[in-house]
Structure 1
C-alpha cells in the first residue's frame, strides 16, 4: 500500500469542501434567484454535482476508504442541500387556521427515541397559500398558527421560527470532514 503523495492528496482533500461550496451555491441560487430554474433542473443539477464529486473521490482514493469516504461525501452534500433549504428566507408570514390534523407515528430504527409523531396540517390561509404543512407542530383543528412561506413557492412553508439550519449544517461539516480525513488515508497501489 502506498500513501497518497502530498500533491495528489491536496486536490482530493479539497474535493469535499469544493463540492459542498458548489452544491450550496447552486441550491442557494435556485432557492433565491428571481429567475430560478424549475424543480426538475434544480434536482438534476444537484444530482450531477453529487455524482461527479462522488465518482472523482472514489476513483482518486480507492479501497475501503474510498467507499466510506464517498458515502460520507454523498451524505454531507445532501445535508448541505438541507442546510441551504433551511436557511432560505421565507419572506412572508401568514396567520392560518388549522382545518385538519393528521398525526402519524413514525417508528425509529436502531437507537434513539422509539417513535416520533409527525403532524400534517391542512390550513386555511389568506389567499389560499400555503394550504398545508407537511411536518408541522402539534396543533388542534381550529387553532391559529403563524406560517412562514416563500411567495415564489421555491421552498416548503414552515411554522414561523420552526426551521433551524444548525443540525443539518453541523451534520454536513462532520460528514465532509470525515470524507476529507479518509482521503488522506492509505490507498491500494495501482
Structure 2
C-alpha cells in the first residue's frame, strides 16, 4: 500500500512539474536581425565578400536538449549582393549561381550534436545550384531571453566551408577561389 502511495505521489509531482520541450522560432529577417554572408578568395589575392539579402526560415530549439533541435533556411539566390552591380550580374549568371534555373538554395538539418556548453554542430543537407550535399555548420549560441516587445528570442552564429565545384559550379577563378566560407547570424522569435 505504501509503495502505491509513493508511486502515485511521484506521478503527481511529475505531472505538475513543467516538462522542458523544444520551442519553435521564426528567423527574424523582417527586423534585419539575421544574415547569410559569404566570402571567397578573388583570384587568390584578396577576399570577395557578400550576402544574400532575401531568405527565411524557422527552427526548433530546446536549451536542455539541443540535440533535439532542427532548422530549415531558404535562400533567394537572386538576392546575392557583393556591393558591385556588374559582379552581382556575373554571380547570378550561368557561370556561378545560375539563378534563372536555380532561384533558391536551402539548408535542412538532419542532426544536431552538442559540442560544448554553447556550441553545436548542425549536420544537414545544403541544396545549391540544383545539387544537394551534406554539410556541417559549426554553431555558437550567442544568447537568449525576453525582448522589449513581450516576446522571447534566441540567437546563434555559425559557419561552414563549401566547394563550388562540389555543387556543380565549374567556372574557375583559380584553385583558391573554389572554396566559399559561409557565415550565418540567426536571431529567432519564439512563435
Q: What is the TM-score when the length of structure 2 is the normalising length?
A: 0.24
Higher relative contact order (CA 8 A, sep 6+): 1
Q: Which has the higher helix share?
A: 1
Q: What is the TM-score when the length of structure 1 is the normalising length?
A: 0.24
